[in-house]
């Protein structure tokens, strides 16, 4: 094979030859007015002349190139040339032999289909960072070249294989990927450790939640959820999203979640909890913004009282399949400061399902956010089954995959509609207290009758009547009308609650031996499983206590 004949057809060779012809033409040939070519003057007699690039032989150049170069020709890719660098890397290769047998390293790299494609199309192709048998990584560029005048069809075509050693770059990229994987694993581990390991299961709700980390380190961390039983049958539900990714976002999330649980124990209205959380978020990191929705469910009210700090709206599906969307956010994200949050409400009647979620579930780069929320509404409208089934279905309908570009948190709660024997385990009774000397005896009689009808054991009956007497007496002495006594039983506990119009919260204190009062709350705290108090939205307060029921409670 005549290498010179092949090299004459390498890209750019003919153009350079034509340029040399034009540059060496005589002044007469160039025509009048043309400018003579500039001459390079020799500075000293010893300075050798430097040949122009076009005067160098192609083979001489390729032999000295540190990259690997091979030239094959014909439909069966016979070897026409390999340079010294190629020979050093893979050994001597016999010219004229078929490349499939003589260049096994190319076969191992899967390059022969690429050679066929380049020869057929006449267009160059490149494959990046292929690891060769010698352990090095190369980027291969295959360029078509023509033999002779190029009229020989496929038999006259060859392919120049040019391989650049990119081992250092490939190893650096792999180290970077390994570092990102370790950071992602650290962020995911931290994130999952800070999320609830087991959700609290309130008496009146069925709840499930899920968290899906994003596919990269930059898509992990910041989303959280929580369920907090407040006592007295009430439950707080939280969903949040820290604007940031990685370990830092997960750490901030953990601090906010811990703070929410502490503030929830104060049994404040949702907007007051977010107001406190807003100030804390600014103290943690003034540049770290987070969204959060905080809701409270009271089974006696049949609705969710919620407040939102820049978070996405809560969705509620009623028992008929109609989906309601909570009003727009009631305040800006946490950490912005200078804003008074407010509370809103959305119905949650028996048979309803509510969904709290983060933006990773509905936000897509190629679609409007409202379209994503509307799609979630349609999916929720047709979702039935347990909360976990609903949760999984919503995640699938949103197309969340392991390589999702954002993390996703979803919290699903159901207020089941109970019928039959199950409904007998969930009962309510209430009495309006008008005040006066007859209020306490009347309250004790009412509580005794209700507890007897609910077939409680004698000891629990007596404790319930005693707690009712002490709570009513405390309200009569320190509260103002209107006053109300409410008893509620679930399948797990008895709840006694007294409300009045005064907003001063009682506290447990030590009574001195000579004191004639001050022992009521202490008695309640001693005999009950739990007790607490809170201010009510319309003014006034509620004081409650609860007793755990025996595991095998007759109905």
- Give the model confidence (pLDDT) of 109-137 as tens digits: 888 888 999 988 889 999 888 888 878 88
Q: How confident is the model at residue 412 (pLDDT cuts 50, 70, 90)?
A: very high
Q: How confident is the model at residue 11 (pLDDT cuts 50, 70, 90)?
A: very low
First to last CA, the chain: 101
pLDDT of residue 42: 47
pLDDT of 200 > 80? The answer is yes
Q: Global pTM? A: 0.69
pLDDT of 279 > 60? The answer is yes
Q: How confident is the model at residue 518 (pLDDT cuts 50, 70, 90)?
A: low
Task: For residue 130, report the phi and psi dihedrals to the nearest 5 degrees.
Answer: -100, 135
pLDDT of residue 407: 85
Q: What is d(CA 115, CA 129) in angstroms, rounded to the nearest whole number? A: 17
- Give the model confidence (pLDDT) of 210-269 as tens digits: 988 876 655 566 889 999 999 899 999 999 998 877 677 778 888 999 999 999 999 999
Q: For 28-57, b where at least 16 C-beta lie within 10 A, e where not — what string?
A: eeeeeeeeeeeeeeeeeeeeeeeeeeeeee
Q: What is d(CA 58, CA 149) in angstroms, rounded to the nearest whole number? A: 18
94: tokens are 């016999």
Hunting for tokens 């001050």 — which residue is that?
518
Query: What share of the chain has pLDDT > 70, as a percent?
Result: 83
pLDDT of residue 420: 83
Burial of 507 (0-12, 13-18, 19+ CB in 10 A): exposed
Which range (148-157, 224-233, 401-410) has the least confidence? 148-157
The more confidently predicted of residues 250 and 103 is: 103
The more confidently predicted of residues 251 and 274 is: 274
Q: What is the crossing angle of helices 458-478 and 520-527, to 10°?
A: 150
Which range (51-60, 249-258, 365-374) has the least confidence? 51-60
- Give the model confidence (pLDDT) of 531-551 as tens digits: 999 998 888 999 999 999 987
pLDDT of residue 490: 93
């Amino acid at each position: 094979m005549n290498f010179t004949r092949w090299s004459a057809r390498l890209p750019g060779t003919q153009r350079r030859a034509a340029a040399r012809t034009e540059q060496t033409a005589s002044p007469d040939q160039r025509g009048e007015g043309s400018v003579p070519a500039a001459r390079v003057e020799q500075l000293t007699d010893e300075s050798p002349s430097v040949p122009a690039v076009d005067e160098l032989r192609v083979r001489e150049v390729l032999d000295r190139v540190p990259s690997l170069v091979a030239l094959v020709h014909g439909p069966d890719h016979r070897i026409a040339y390999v340079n010294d660098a190629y020979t050093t890397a893979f050994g001597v290769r016999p010219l004229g032999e078929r490349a499939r047998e003589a260049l096994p390293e190319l076969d191992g790299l899967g390059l022969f289909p690429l050679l066929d494609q380049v020869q057929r199309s006449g267009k160059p192709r490149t494959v990046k960072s292929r690891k060769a048998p010698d352990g090095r990584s190369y980027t291969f560029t295959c360029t078509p070249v023509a033999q002779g005048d190029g009229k020989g069809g496929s038999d006259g075509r060859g392919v120049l294989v040019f391989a650049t050693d990119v081992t250092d770059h490939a190893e650096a990229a792999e180290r970077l990927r390994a570092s990102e994987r370790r950071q992602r694993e650290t962020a995911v581990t931290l994130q999952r450790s800070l999320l609830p390991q087991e959700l609290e299961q309130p008496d009146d709700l069925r709840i499930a939640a899920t968290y899906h980390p994003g596919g990269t380190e930059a898509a992990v961390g910041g989303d959280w959820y929580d369920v907090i039983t407040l006592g007295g049958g009430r439950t707080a539900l939280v969903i949040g999203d820290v604007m940031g990714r990685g370990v830092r976002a997960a750490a901030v999330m953990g601090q906010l979640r811990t703070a929410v649980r502490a503030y929830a124990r104060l049994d404040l209205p949702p907007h007051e909890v977010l107001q406190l959380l807003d100030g804390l978020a600014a103290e943690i990191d003034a540049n770290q913004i987070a969204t959060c929705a905080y809701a409270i469910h009271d089974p006696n009210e049949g609705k969710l009282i919620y407040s939102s700090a820049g978070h996405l709206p809560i969705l509620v599906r009623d028992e008929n399949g109609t989906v309601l969307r909570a009003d727009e956010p009631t305040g800006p994200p946490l950490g912005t400061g200078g804003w008074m949050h407010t509370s809103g409400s959305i119905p949650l009647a028996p048979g309803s399902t509510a969904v709290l979620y983060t933006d990773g579930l509905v936000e897509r780069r190629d679609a409007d956010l409202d379209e994503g929320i509307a799609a979630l509404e349609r999916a929720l409208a047709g979702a039935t089954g347990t909360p976990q089934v609903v949760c999984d279905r919503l995640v699938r309908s949103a197309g969340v995959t392991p390589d999702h570009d954002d993390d996703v948190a979803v919290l699903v709660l159901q207020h089941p509609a109970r019928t039959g024997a199950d409904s007998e385990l969930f009962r309510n009774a209430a009495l309006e207290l008008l005040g006066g000397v007859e209020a306490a005896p009347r309250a004790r009689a009412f509580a005794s009758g209700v507890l007897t009808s609910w077939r409680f054991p004698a000891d629990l009956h007596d404790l319930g009547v005693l707690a009712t007497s002490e709570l009513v007496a405390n309200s009569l002495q320190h509260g103002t009308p209107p006053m109300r006594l409410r008893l509620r039983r679930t399948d797990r506990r008895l709840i006694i609650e007294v409300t009045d119009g005064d907003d001063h919260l009682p506290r447990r204190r030590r009574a001195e031996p000579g004191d004639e009062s001050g022992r009521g709350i202490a008695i309640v705290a001693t005999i009950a499983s739990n007790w607490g108090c809170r201010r009510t939205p319309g003014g006034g307060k509620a004081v409650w206590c609860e007793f755990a029921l025996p595991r095998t409670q007759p109905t």
